[in-house]
Structure 1
Amino acid sequence: MSQKEIEESLNLLQKDWDVDPILRNFMLGKITDVSDYKIKVKDVVFHVPYLNSEKKYILWKCYWPDCHNCCDRQGRLPLSSDDLITIGKGLKYSKTSDFIKNETLTATYQEPGPSGQMTTMTTINLKRKTDETEADDGTHISCRFLDGEGGCSMHPDRPGVCYLYPFSSWLENEQGKARVHATYQFTGDCPGFYLADSLDPMKDEFKDYSKTIYDYNMASNRTNREGFGSVSFS
């Protein structure tokens, strides 16, 4: 996302939530004295920003059901091969091919990788609205499965990527073995970020998300091997 898009999201967020001005400046790139603090929890290495000038970590907690911005301002919903089967059955499709034809879109887009390289992703995405087109990809759309109370009508069979927010994740080769890494997505849409002196307040979240993130990466790799998506680096 561009800084302009993040600023627009933050301005919208601040209509309903208090946003720490230090965090706002960080998300807008105005604070650059930041260290990447790494913590390994089970099979995942989490990268947590540490603001050197403030001597604070950036941590996170979810405010659902008071907030459901992650569902109300979706950019895209990539599906794993497991999702294609599970969600297709939930929507009463007997054939996965029919579900893909009627309920999904294929999109190719670029994302910056952890080392600055560009990653080109091709994914099958769940339509967030019934008449979604390729032109809508990457834009903020309220998910059609979000109910009036902020809950997901597909839960617990919602897309695996939905369980990741606000994290993004990737794989790195470490001595011939794949290691899963994760860090936050700072889109400006989530009110759950806060500053803390230590990582202790977030121990439970790291523990829970470690399994979620690891399982999702394994499912994504399997999806690419099965030909439902692809990843290339440049």
Structure 2
Amino acid sequence: MSQKEIEESLNLLQKDWDVDPILRQFMLGKITDVSDYSIKVKDVIFHIPYLASEKKYILWKCFWPDCHNCCDRQGRLPLTSDDLITIGKGLKYKKTSDFIKNETITTTWQDSSPSGQTTTMTTINLKRKKDETIQEDGTHISCRFLDEKGGCSMHPDRPGVCYLYPFSTWLENEKGMARVHATYQFTGDCPGFYLAEDMQQMKQELKDYSKIIYDYTLSSSRTMRENFGSVSFG
């Protein structure tokens, strides 16, 4: 996302939530004395930003059900092969191929990891609205499965990527072993980020998300091997 898009999201967010001015400056790229604090929790290495000038970490907690911005301002919903089967059945499709034809859209997009590696992804995405077009991929669209009370009408069978928010994940080859990494997505839409002097306040979230992230990342990798998408590194 561009800084302009993030700023627009932050301005919209501040209509309903208090946003720490330091975090706002950070998300807009105006704070540069930032280091990457890596912590291994179970099978995942989390990369947590540390602001040297403030001597604080950027931590996170979810404010659902008071906030459901992650559903109301979706960018895309890439599906794993497991998602295709589970969600297809939930929507009463007898054939996965029919579900893919009617309820999904295939797009290609680029993502960058903190290591600087650029990844080109081609994925099968759940349509966030029935008539979604390829041109709308990556833009903010409210998910059609978000109900009037801010809940997900297909929970707990919603796409695996929904469980990850606000994290993004990737695999790296470390001495012949696949290692799962995770860091935050800073889109300006989530009010859950805050500053803290130590990591203890987020200890439980990291434990809970470690399994979710590990399982999803391996499932996503398997999805590519099963030819439900493709990935190339640059």
- How would you bin the TM-score normalised by the shorter chain? over 0.9
Deviation at 1:113, TM superposition (A): 2.6
Q: Hey, which bits of structure 1, 4+ residues long, moved more than 6 A?
A: none
Deviation at 1:73, TM superposition (A): 0.1
The amino acid across from 1:61 in the alignment is K
Aligned position for 1:26: 26
Deviation at 1:232, TM superposition (A): 0.3
SS, match of residue 204 in structure 1: helix
- Write the deviation string for residues 83-110 of structure 1: whole angstroms up to 9, x where unpaired: 0000000000000000000000000011
Matches within 5 A, 1:189-228: 189-228=189-228
Distance 1:115 1:183 in 2: 11
Aligned position for 1:118: 118
Larger deviation: 106-115 or 127-136? Answer: 106-115
SS, match of residue 170 in structure 1: strand
The amino acid across from 2:76 in the alignment is R
Aligned position for 1:102: 102
SS, match of residue 45 in structure 2: strand
Matches within 5 A, 1:49-60: 49-60=49-60
Stretches of structure 2 that go unaligned for 5 or more consecutive residues are none
Q: Is 1:151 matched up with 2:188?
A: no
Deviation at 1:135, TM superposition (A): 1.0
Deviation at 1:117, TM superposition (A): 2.6
- Write the deviation string for residues 137-176 of structure 1: whole angstroms up to 9, x where unpaired: 0000000000011100000000000000000000111111
CA RMSD after TM alignment:
0.5
SS, match of residue 35 in structure 2: strand
Distance 2:4 2:114 in 1: 21
The amino acid across from 2:135 in the alignment is A
**TM-score, structure 2 as length reference:** 0.99
The amino acid across from 2:69 in the alignment is N
SS, match of residue 220 in structure 2: helix
Distance 2:113 2:201 in 1: 28
SS, match of residue 77 in structure 2: coil
**TM-score, structure 1 as length reference:** 0.99
Aligned position for 1:174: 174
Distance 1:37 1:88 in 2: 40
Distance 1:170 1:46 in 2: 11
Deviation at 1:112, TM superposition (A): 1.5
Distance 1:208 1:182 in 2: 13
Query: Identity of paired residues, percent?
Result: 83
Instruction: Tell me how many residue pairs correspond in the alignment.
Output: 234
The amino acid across from 1:208 in the alignment is D
Distance 2:172 2:227 in 1: 21
Distance 2:112 2:59 in 1: 22
SS, match of residue 231 in structure 2: strand
